[in-house]
Amino acid sequence: MTLLTSPASFAQAADAQPSPEDTINALNGVFGRHAKERSSHAKGFCAAGQFIPSPHGRDFSTTPLFQGSAMPVTARFSIGGGNPKASDKGRSVRGLGVRFHLPNEEELDLVMISAPVFFAANPAQFVEFLKVRTADPATGQKDPAKIKAFNEANPNVMAHLNYVSKTPPPASYATAPYFSTHAFLFEDHGVEERAARWSVEPVGGFEGLTKEQEETFPDSFLEQELRDRLVRGPAQWEISLQVAEVGDPLNDPTAVWPDSRRKVNVGRLVIDRVVEKGADDDCTGFVFDPNNLPTGIGPTDDPILAIRNPAYGVSFGRRSE
């Protein structure tokens, strides 16, 4: 394995453009290959509810997502990484995939994590980020020196790493925020496009585990916690679009946009039940793909966004074997 230790060497590797198979191999290298499981966000479960559009969304874009009434959604909550037995207390991201079932059989998939930015700007950086974190087969240990060298050579990954390390693990999926990290293009009523990122904020605010809870809670508690919570009432999030301004990078999911950027509330996500495996609306076989977009919403030229669809195809093929 060649370690990228300078911006120049990284830029040279970035031109190599890893294949979709390379990205999934890198995930499998870190987390192992687990039969019938996703290569990333392997540990998770399905839920369902509805999306209630707001009048602000109708004014922002012509997409049918914002123009109608409440519509059903299928969702999946998950733990970041490819280990199906990962601890719910781990310092990693939580994931939320949501499929909006629009009129006329259109769909939108939101694929989000509980950090506002991603850890790689392009497929080459994605692969190398994982390779330096792959344990040595002989010792079973990671090499801290390689990780340190990579981080120093690639400072753009640090916004994600710092956020995850400094943010307590969520006490509930219902009290975690979620972010698209990718920007998308929204057609407005003047038949123009505006770029924005999705953010999904819990109505009750963020709630993290305390130090004592991190020490005493079992490694699997989040699914049961949500089941118990939903008995008392639905979990709810406000969905907003953070609107880009001139100069904001649209093709770099590691880039931090200023907090001063305008946010437009476009509706509310309401989750009211956990879906059992084998049910008619079980999402276990779904491929949540952020390139699955309805009329009025388009992709940017973000290289991580572009590789997701073919990489998901590779992952789906492997879990279908």
Where residue 14 falls among pLDDT bands split at 50, 70, 90?
very low
pLDDT score at 189? 82
CATH architecture for residues 7-319? Beta Barrel (2.40)
Least confident window among 7-11, 106-110, 162-166: 7-11
pLDDT at 320: 84
- Token look-up 């059989």 returns 105
Q: What token pair was written down for 35? A: 């039969």
pLDDT at residue 3 above 80?
no
Q: CA–CA distance from 13 to each of 23, 133, 145 (Å)?
A: 14, 17, 20
Model confidence at 68, pLDDT cuts 50, 70, 90, reads: confident
Domain boundaries, the chain: 7-319
The predicted pLDDT at position 15 comes to: 54
Check whether 226 has a pLDDT greater than 80: yes
3-state class (DSSP) for residue 318: helix
Helix (H, G, I), strand (E, B) or coil at 231: helix
C-alpha span between 109 and 97 (Å, rounded): 7
Q: What percent of the chain has pLDDT over 90?
A: 90
**Mean of pLDDT values over 65-81:** 96
Task: Quote the CA–CA distance of 127 and 115 in Å, as a whole number.
Answer: 19
**Range 166-171 average pLDDT:** 97
- d(CA 100, CA 63) in angstroms, rounded, equals 12
Q: Are 3 and 146 in contact (CB under 8 A)?
A: yes
| Residues acting as catalytic residues | 41
What would the pLDDT profile of 231-264 be if each residue is shown by its tens digit? 999 999 999 999 999 999 999 999 999 999 999 9
Tokens 């996703």 belong to which residue? 38
- Reading the block at residue 225, the tokens are 């916690």
Encoded amino acid at 72, one letter: P
Rounded Cα distance between 71 and 100, Å, is: 7
SS3 category, 179: strand
Residue 32 has pLDDT above 70, yes or no: yes
- Count the residues in the chain: 321
Can you give the pLDDT at residue 13? Answer: 44
* Exposed e or buried b per residue across 198-226, where buried means at least 16 C-beta atoms within 10 angstroms of its C-beta: bbbbbeeeeeebeeeebeebeeebbbebb
Kindly state the average pLDDT of the residues 191-209: 94
Q: Average model confidence (pLDDT) for the chain?
A: 93
Q: How confident is the model at residue 192 (pLDDT cuts 50, 70, 90)?
A: confident
- Return the structure tokens found at 58: 């109708």
Structure confidence at residue 5 as a pLDDT band (50, 70, 90):
very low
| DSSP H or E segment with residue 227 | helix 222-232
61 vs 312: CA distance, rounded Å: 28
Q: Helix, strand or coil for residue 211?
A: helix
Note if the pTM is more than 0.85. Answer: yes
